[in-house]
Amino acid sequence: MKRYIVGGYVRDKLLNKSPQDRDWVVVGSTEAEMLAAGFRRVGAGFPVFLHPDTKEEHALARKDVKTSAGHRGFAFDFSPDVTLDEDLLRRDFTVNALVTDEAGNLVDTALSERALRDLKNRSLDIVDAAHFGEDPLRAVRAARFAATLGFTMTERTRTACVEIAESGDLSALPAERFYAESVKAFEANAGGAFVQNMHDLKILTTYCPALESLFSCPEKTQYHPEGNTGGHVVNALKWLDKNIGFFDLEERSVPPLYWAVLLHDIGKPLTDPAEFPRHIGHDETGAALLKTDFCTRLKLPAFTAKLCRFVCENHMRFHHLPEMKPGKKLDFVFDIYKNTGKAPALFLTACLADRYCNRTDDAWQKDFADAAGFISTVYEKAAAVRLTPEEIDATPPARREDRLRRKRLAATHDLCKGYCP
């Protein structure tokens, strides 16, 4: 039995990143020998073993044989005669086929020279053109790896991915796999490049035609110089990639925020073409779409879907917050807290990404500070207001909510009226 560390851990180590999880490939062994050595088998598709001490994943070297459509349509040969080079040939990209031994020393393989050259050139190249298309998920992974690593796809990588998209094989992938890749890109703050890659490789057409339609939806160039809604959304995501660290958000909030920015203008392609390039009422149209089974089909979690609907319906409303009457401002503040899990920064950040994505100044920082300070102050002051026992007794149950709102408005009226940054 020989163990090797392979894949992303080695790649990221050579890129001077700080990888966490090591994936191991085991050559010259069998399942029975692994179990006898104390490893525990997990996984249903093919055997993966957890080390008895480190709990790190170990997979037997294998060869793949395509048997049916989709990313699961393979039969596997786990013979102890399968060599390391044979195992590496089934991998997707050269930079994911780098290997070290147990001590961390690079192992010379048939792919080493190509892989190290591609790593140096920051190039994403496929291992084997003859077999790359057998797993359609690889096209989506190409979009994600190029975005998160900041690599350029080679022409044959692009060609292979487009061929997968145009073949129709992507339709065999469950939506959960697309969603999982998007989350990895968003967590790496590479949302803009990922979505642009998904469009360029023609993947969006299969995953979500409504998202693809953004790129053919015209815009007024004085507001959106990209000329189309898809370009605007990509730039809003890139703005978020660059500035998200400023907002000190919880890690679990990052993917929902990215999705909210991605979908904030989803209603624009539904505008009557006679109105183009104007998009009057696109916020309401988009929210109506997101209230159908749209988010369910994309496999968005409940909170993500809720945030997306709220941002889509209210991002234009935010731009007019200073001009609202005090009562409208108070209601809006409570709506923001209710629909963001009491994290108003999520809504504000999405709105600022929309507003500032084509600007290079830092005026958004004051914009955020002013809005966040106002919203939190109003909410805290209003939420502290309660009806007294006497007021509750004197008010019919059906009118208590309205009386509480009027009492809260009285307590915050001057504060709401004075917000005109």
pLDDT above 60 (res 73) = no
pLDDT band at 126 (very low <50, low <70, confident <90, very high): very high
Task: Give the pLDDT score at 46.
Answer: 73
Every domain of the chain with CATH number 3.30.460.10 lies at: 1-121
CB of 142 within 8 A of CB of 125?
no
Q: What average pLDDT does this structure show over 73-93?
A: 87
**156-184: average pLDDT:** 96
Starting from the edge strand earliest in sequence, which strands make up the sheet with 48-50, in order? 40-42, 48-50, 57-60, 24-27, 2-6, 99-100
The answer to whether residue 202 scores a pLDDT higher than 60 is yes
What is the reported pLDDT for 230?
98
Is a pLDDT exceeding 70 seen at residue 402? Answer: yes
Q: What is the mean pLDDT of the chain?
A: 94
SS3 per residue for the chain: CEEEEECHHHHHHHCCCCCCCCCEEEECCCHHHHHHCCCEEECCCCCEEECCCCCCEEEECCEEEECCCCCCCEEEECCCCCCHHHHHCCCCEHHHCCEECCCCCECCCCCHHHHHHHHHCCEECECCHHHHCCCCHHHHHHHHHHHHHCCEECHHHHHHHHHHHHHCHHHHCCHHHHHHHHHHHHHCCCHHHHHHHHHHCCCHHHHCHHHHHHHHCECCCCCCCCCEHHHHHHHHHHHHHHHHHHHCCCHHHHHHHHHHHHHCCCCHHHCCHHHCCCCCCHHHHHHHHHCCCHHHHCCCCHHHHHHHHHHHHHHHHHHCHHHCCHHHHHHHHHHHHHHCCCCHHHHHHHHHHHHHCCCCCCHHHHHHHHHHHHHHHHHHHHHCCCCCHHHHHHCCHHHHHHHHHHHHHHHHHHHHHCCCC
Site of tokens 């399942």: 31
How confident is the model over 202-219, as a mean pLDDT?
97
- Model confidence over 2-60: pLDDT tens digits? 999 999 999 999 999 988 889 999 999 999 999 999 999 997 667 799 999 999 999 99
Per residue in 312-371, pLDDT tens? Answer: 999 999 999 999 999 999 999 999 999 999 999 999 999 999 999 999 999 999 999 999
Cα–Cα dist 53/145, whole Å:
31
Q: Quote the pLDDT of residue 421.
A: 73
With cut-offs at 50, 70 and 90, classify the pLDDT of residue 299: very high
Write out the residue limits of the CATH 1.10.110.30 domain(s) in the chain: 123-207
CA–CA–CA angle 300, 160, 141 (5° rounding): 30
CATH of 123-207, one of 3.20.20.30, 1.10.110.30, 1.20.90.10, 1.10.730.10: 1.10.110.30
CA dist., res. 64 & res. 140, Å (int): 20
pLDDT at 72 over 70: no
pLDDT at 362: 95
pLDDT of residue 175: 95
Report the percent of the chain where pLDDT is more than 90. 90
pLDDT at res. 63: 85
**What percentage of the chain exceeds 70 in pLDDT?**
97
Q: CB-based burial of residue 142 (10 Å sphere; 0-12 exposed, 13-18 middle, 19+ buried)?
A: buried
Q: Does residue 114 register a pLDDT over 70?
A: yes
Is residue 127 pLDDT above 70, yes or no? yes
Quickly name the fold that domain 1-121 has: Beta Polymerase; domain 2 (3.30.460)
Answer whether the bond into residue 277 is a cis peptide, omega within 30°.
Answer: yes
Q: Which residue has the higher pLDDT, 418 or 334?
A: 334
Q: 59-63, 197-201, 290-294, 366-370: which range is least confident on average?
A: 59-63
Structure tokens that stand for 59 in this block: 């997979």
Nearest to 409 by CA among 322, 320, 338, 334: 334
